Amino acid sequence: MIITSVEFEPCVMPLEDKNWTFALGTASTSRGYIVRLTSDSGHVGYGYSNSSPHMGSTFESLPAELERFKPHVLGKDAFAIEAIHMALDRSLTGASQAKAGIDCALHDLCARSLGVPLYNLLGGKVRDKVSVLRIVAIKTPAEMAANAEKLLAQGYRYFKIKVHGDVEEDVARVKAIRERVGEDAHLTIDANQSYSPKDAITAINRMAQYRLDLVEQPVARDDLKGLELVTRSVPVTVEADEGAGTVDEIMTLVSNRIVDAVSLKIQKLGGLRNALAAARICEAGKVKYRLGAHVGTRLGNAHAIHLAAALPGVDYACELGEFSRMFNDPFAGIEVVNGELAVPDGPGCGVEPVAQAHDRKTGAA
Ligand SMILES: [Mg+2]
């Protein structure tokens, strides 16, 4: 099956919260590119490349990266996914989100041409549903508690509290949310690298009384000694995210037991192939893993649901429902129900493009 066209177009989705803030910045839109591959058999496969400056690619850099990769995809056998990956890696180091868009579109194209769900190309599914964790963006403790309560009323039971490195304020955030959502809810925090190791230890040990399940990337991505110190000094599972940006980095984190867990993301790892490899490394090293936020369109989350369905070690809620707080999604077919996503069983990744009534470049209606 030969790929006869490679197209990409911008995808801009306005956020419900125009002041959505985490420790690395504030956003009012989620931006990326849809990758569309067509084959000589007439089948179409879709992938998504998300713009996230902290993963390497921006909305401005993605078109140039995708354009550069085009000759390595056009005219090639769609099933030769590893060979295409090798060509992309030789062509450009990094550019993981552009590579992820192409990798996912190839998998989707192959699955649709075979008439099977995508998870069948990843080893088949080991679960039918995935629990969804929702992110609570940085605001005052009272505002964050109110937002968590709204999500609880919608059926969510897992929450990630974004914090920004101020021990007193951050402990107050966790306290306010625990008091509002009750004892049955599961709480995690994500500092996005904003603590010093000593402040992280102080904060997490104080937060532990409010029962945290997990702490994500407390210190700088390249501070491995600091991260290890935090892991050894707190009673809560410590997870790497920004510091687990490549399969090689995950190998270092796992083989040295620098963390208890790793957040896997298709976008930062450059596609499904690398995410599978990273999961195997975690399994071998007895380090936990789950899928972190796949921010943006349902399309990008659909690929991640199939990955979560196929990975035996996913033992905690995954961040695959953030599309629920965005408008103008160009894809439809998955929805969170009672805090869970059902694994789609139709051909391919399980979402389809919808007719657009707005400008994809700006997201305006
Ligand atoms: Mg994170």
In CATH terms, are 3-115 and 122-353 the same topology?
Answer: no
pLDDT, one tens digit for every residue, the chain (365 residues): 999 999 999 999 999 999 999 988 999 999 999 999 999 999 999 999 999 998 999 999 999 999 999 999 999 999 999 999 999 999 999 999 999 999 999 999 999 999 999 999 999 999 999 999 999 999 999 999 999 999 999 999 999 999 999 999 999 999 999 999 999 999 999 999 999 999 999 999 999 999 999 999 999 999 999 999 999 999 999 999 999 999 999 999 999 999 999 999 999 999 999 999 999 999 999 999 999 999 999 999 999 999 999 999 998 999 999 999 999 999 999 999 999 999 999 999 999 999 875 666 666 65
Active site residue 265: yes
CATH code of 3-115, in short, is 3.30.390.10
Find the catalytic residue in 125, 265, 268, 288. Answer: 265
Altogether, the residues listed in the chain come to a count of 365
Residue in 354, 349, 300 with CA at minimum distance from that of residue 328: 354
Active site residue 139: no
Contact 190, 180 (CB under 8 A): no
Break the chain into its structural domains and give their ranges.
Answer: 3-115, 122-353
The residues whose Cβ lies within 5 A of ligand 1, an ion, are: 190, 216, 241
How far apart are the CA of 241 and the centre of ligand 1, in A? 5
Q: In whole angstroms, how far apart are CA 53 and each of 24, 57, 162, 242, 360?
A: 10, 5, 18, 11, 20
Class of domain 122-353: alpha beta
Q: In whole angstroms, how far apart are CA 115 and each of 110, 249, 299, 349?
A: 9, 36, 18, 11
How far apart are the CA of 319 and the centre of ligand 1, in A? 10
pTM value > 0.85: yes
